[in-house]
Each structure stands twice: as structure tokens, then as C-alpha cells.
């Protein structure tokens, strides 16, 4: 093969390689564009789910620390506040917290705490004495209301969290 023919073959191969790179770069650009469009089409709940999944996949979920810049840029403060309000409205499980009680009713309150928990006398007494404390976790409002009413009648201040 002559020097000129070899040079032309090299140029052709270089052009072909550059064309292949340009096509793969263009395909990557189209892929990125498609992903960005799909992300922008998500509603706020789906965006939240995506960011949680992204954090888990990237290993950024340690200690539940929020990572700066991980929220979608198109989600405004109003949308995040709306999503937070919806999450609060949807809360189904509450914790029953004893904040304070009348010292004269301590024994009655301990007996009442034993009636709706699986605690023994000593454990219930220790729990009541650690005021403020959570008496029971994961209650619905329907389950918690009768307990709250009974404890309030006995002279305790209780709240749902």
C-alpha cells in the first residue's frame, strides 16, 4: 500500500471513529434529555420517592441527614410545603405522651397505664415517673381518644404526637 493510500485509509478510519463518537455522544445527549423530561413530568410525590431512591442508590442515606442540592430544582417552596401539609394530614399513627400528672392520682394513673400496655407494676411506675414520656406508640386517633379521656379524668395531661 502506498503512503498516500495508507494516509487516506487512516483519515477515513479517523473520520469514522469521530462520527461514531459523535453519534454515541448524541445518543447519550438524547438519553439525558429523555430522563430529564421524564423527571420533570413527575408529580411532587413521585419526585419525593425518586429523591429517596436516588439517595439510597448513591449511599447518601446514612443517619437520615439531608443532603444539600438533592431535591429537584423545579419543585418550589410552595409545592414542598403543600406536600408536607398533605403528609401531616395523612398521619394515621400517633404516639400518646404523658406530659404531667396530679401527684395525688399517681397510683390511679399507673393502674390505667398498666391496663392499656403490657407493662408490669414496676415498669409502669418507672414509666409514669419519667414524665414527660411516651406511653404508647402507633395508636390511631380512635384507639387513643378513650385512653386520653380516662387519663385526663384522673388528672393527667396527655397529648398525641
Phi-psi region of 138 (alpha: psi -120 to 50; beta: other; left: phi over 0): left
Residue 112: which residues within 8 A CB-CB, separation 6 or more? 147, 150, 151, 154
- Which residues lie closer than 8 Å to 58 by C-beta, 6 or more apart? none
- pTM to 2 decimal places: 0.44
Please write the tens of the pLDDT for every residue from 20-62: 666 666 677 888 888 888 888 888 888 888 888 878 777 776 5
pLDDT (mean) for 96-105:
88
Tell me the domains of the chain and their CATH numbers. 3-87 (no CATH), 94-160 (3.30.1390.10)
Rounded distance, CA 88 to CA 91, Å? 5
Amino acid at each position: 500500500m502506498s503512503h498516500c493510500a495508507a494516509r487516506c485509509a487512516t483519515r477515513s478510519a479517523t473520520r469514522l471513529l469521530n462520527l461514531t463518537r459523535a453519534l454515541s455522544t448524541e445518543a447519550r445527549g438524547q438519553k439525558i434529555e429523555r430522563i430529564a423530561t421524564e423527571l420533570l413530568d413527575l408529580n411532587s410525590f413521585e419526585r419525593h420517592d425518586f429523591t429517596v431512591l436516588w439517595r439510597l442508590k448513591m449511599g447518601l442515606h446514612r443517619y437520615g441527614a439531608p443532603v444539600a442540592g438533592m431535591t429537584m430544582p423545579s419543585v418550589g417552596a410552595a409545592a414542598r410545603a403543600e406536600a408536607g401539609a398533605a403528609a401531616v394530614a395523612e398521619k394515621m399513627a400517633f404516639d400518646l405522651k404523658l406530659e404531667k400528672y396530679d401527684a395525688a392520682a399517681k397510683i390511679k394513673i399507673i393502674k390505667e397505664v398498666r391496663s392499656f400496655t403490657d407493662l408490669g407494676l414496676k415498669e409502669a411506675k418507672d414509666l409514669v415517673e419519667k414524665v414527660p414520656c411516651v406511653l404508647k406508640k402507633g395508636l390511631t386517633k380512635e384507639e387513643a381518644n378513650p385512653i386520653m379521656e380516662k387519663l385526663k379524668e384522673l388528672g393527667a395531661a396527655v397529648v398525641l404526637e
